[in-house]
Amino acid sequence: MTDARRPLRFVVIGAGMAGILAVIRLREQGFDDVTVYEKADRLGGTWRENNYPGVACDVPSILYSYSFAPNPEWTHRFSPGAEIQTYLEDVARRFDVERSVTYGEEVVHAEHDGDRWHLRTASGLTDVADVIIAATGVLHHPFVPGLDGLDNFAGDLVHTARWDASVPLAGRRVGIIGTGSSAVQTVGAVVDEVSELALFQRTAQWVLPQDNPAYSEDEKAGFRADPDSQRQLHDEISELFADGFANAVVDADSPILTRIADLCQEHLDTVVDDDLRARLTPDHRAACKRLVISGSFYEAVQRPHARLVDNEIDRIEAGGIRTVDGVLHELDVLVLATGFRVDRFMRPMEAVGPTGTRLSEAWSERPSAYLSMAVPGLPNLFMLNGPNGPVGNFSLIEVAELQMEYALQLVDQIADRTCRLVAPSTEATEAHEVARTEAAGKTVWATGCNSWYLDDRGVPMAWPWTFREFQRRMAAPDMAAYVLTD
C-alpha cells in the first residue's frame, strides 16, 4: 500500500450557502478537483429564489455568516434577503468559487458502480465523482396548495418563492394566502402601497416581536478595522443562542419557553380591536410551530384598508377568492405565501448505490438519514442540512459548517486509503432514528399543533436534542456506525 493520498474528484450539488461552503473547505483541505452543478443561472440558493417584498433572515446577521468570513457591512441586526444574497456573492467572489460552478445543470440521476459515482443532468451532461456533497438545501421546492379554481384567477398570481417583481402592487387589491414568515414579512412590506390588503388565515401564528436596530457607521468601521472582534461577537451570540432558545425548543417544559410565550402574548396584546385580537390568537403553544418574528405585522394588519379573513377558502374565481360564507373577496393580485415542500431535500434526483439501494425507495415513506447527513447503501454521499437536522430557528450556516467538518473527516478516511467507500450502517441509522423519534416527543413541536415540522406520522422532523449535543456529535464520527469498504 502506498502512503500517498488518493486523488479524489468531488461533485457538489447546489451553489447555495452550503455549496459555496463545501467548495471553500474542500479546497482548503487540498482537494482541488471539485465541480458544482447548479440548476439555476446564478448562485445563492434560498436567497436567490426568495426575493419577495420584506424577505429577511430570522437569525441574527452575525450568526448567519460563515465563521471564516465575517461581514462588517451588515446594515441591521437581522438582515434583509438582498443583503444576504450580496454577502454570498461576495464570499464566492473572494474565494473564487465560481470557477468550479457549472450553471443551468440540474443533477437528476447518480449511480454508483462499485468504484465511482456516475452522474447525469437534465440536459444529458454526464460526470463521475468519488464523493458527492449534496448541498441542495431544504427550502427550494415551493408548495402550491390544491385550491379549487386556482388556474381561473384572472389577475396576477405569484408565489413568494417565485416572486415576479414586474407585477405592480401600488394602488391594487392584494390578497395573501398564508400566515407564516413569508406572509408576515410580505404584509408588513406592501401594506403602505396597496389600496386593499386581505390576509387569508387558516391558522393563527404566534409572532415574536423583533427589535432590529441598524448597525452604526462607527460599529461597522470597528468591524472592518478588527475582524477578530466580529468573530468574537459571533461566538458569543452563538453561545447565547445555543444555551437559550436553541436548547429550549427541545424541552417542552423549559422556563425559557414560558418567557417566549409571555413576549408573544404581550406583542399580541398590542392589537386594539378585541375581535381581531381574538382571531389572531393561536390555539397552540408559542414555538410549537416555527416562530414568526416581526415588529411590523400587527401594526400592518390593523390598518383601515387591511382585513384578516379567517373563513375557509371555498374556491378561487376569476375575480378573487370566494370563502365558504359565500363572500367573494375581489382581488387584482393573489400572493401564495404557502411555503415549501420541506420533505424534498435531494429529490427529485435519484441516487442508486452499488448494491441497488435506491434513494426513492429508502425515502418512500419519509426522508431520513444518519445524523441528517448520510443514507445506508449510498456510500461517499454526504448531505449538508439533510433530513432531521437542526432547522428550528437555528443558523443553517453554522449547522452546515459543523456537518462539513464532520464529512471532511470521513473524506480523509478515503483519501488516506483507510477505505475506498464509507456509508452508515443500517443498524446505526435505524437505532438513531428510534432514539430521535422518541426524543422528538419531548419537544415543544410535539405539543399539539399542525406544522411543517411534522412528518406523516405527526413526529417532528427536526433534530430533537440540544444544539450542544449536535455540536458534540459533529465533532468526530463514530466509526463503529459506518461500513468501510476497501
- Residues 399, 92, 246, CA angle at the centre, nearest 5°? 15
One-letter amino acid of 108: V
pLDDT for residue 393 is more than 70: no
Report how far residue 52's alpha carbon sits from residue 154's, in angstroms, rounded to the nearest whole number: 21
- Domain(s) of CATH 3.50.50.60: residues in the chain: 10-141+341-485, 150-206+251-336
Q: Which residue has the higher pLDDT, 272 or 290?
A: 272
pLDDT for residue 131 is more than 90: yes
Q: Three-state SS for 259?
A: helix
Q: Which CATH superfamily is domain 10-141+341-485 in?
A: FAD/NAD(P)-binding domain (3.50.50.60)
Helix then strand then coil, % of the chain, to nearest 5: 35, 20, 50
pLDDT of 340: 83
pLDDT of 1: 40
% of the chain surpassing 70 pLDDT: 99
Report how far residue 271's alpha carbon sits from residue 255's, in angstroms, rounded to the nearest whole number: 26
pLDDT of 479: 97
Q: Three-state SS for 159?
A: strand
Please compute the mean of the pLDDT values over residues 127-143 and round it to a whole number.
91
CB–CB of 360/350 below 8 Å?
yes
pLDDT of 347: 86
Please compute the mean of the pLDDT values over residues 315-320 and round it to a whole number.
98
pLDDT for residue 140 is more than 90: no
> Which residues, in sequence order, are CB contacts of 258 under 8 Å at separation 6+?
none
Question: Could you confirm whether domain 150-206+251-336 is CATH 1.10.357.10?
Answer: no
pLDDT of 392: 66
Q: Three-state SS for 32?
A: coil
Report how far residue 245's alpha carbon sits from residue 264's, in angstroms, rounded to the nearest whole number: 14
Please compute the mean of the pLDDT values over residues 452-459 and round it to a whole number.
88
pLDDT of 75: 95
Please compute the mean of the pLDDT values over residues 262-278 and round it to a whole number.
98
Average pLDDT, the chain: 94
pLDDT for residue 248 is more than 90: no
Grid cell 425548543 — which residue? 249
CB–CB of 48/89 below 8 Å?
no
**The overall pTM is greater than 0.75:** yes
Please compute the mean of the pLDDT values over residues 323-337 and round it to a whole number.
98
Tens-place pLDDT, residues 35-78: 999 999 999 999 999 999 999 998 889 989 999 999 999 999 99
pLDDT for residue 263 is more than 70: yes
Q: Which residue has the higher pLDDT, 239 or 310?
A: 310
Residue 112's nearest CA partner among 346, 345, 359, 355 is 355
Report how far residue 404's alpha carbon sits from residue 396's, in angstroms, rounded to the nearest whole number: 12
CB–CB of 422/413 below 8 Å?
yes
Question: Which triple of cell numbers denotes residue 250?
Answer: 427541545
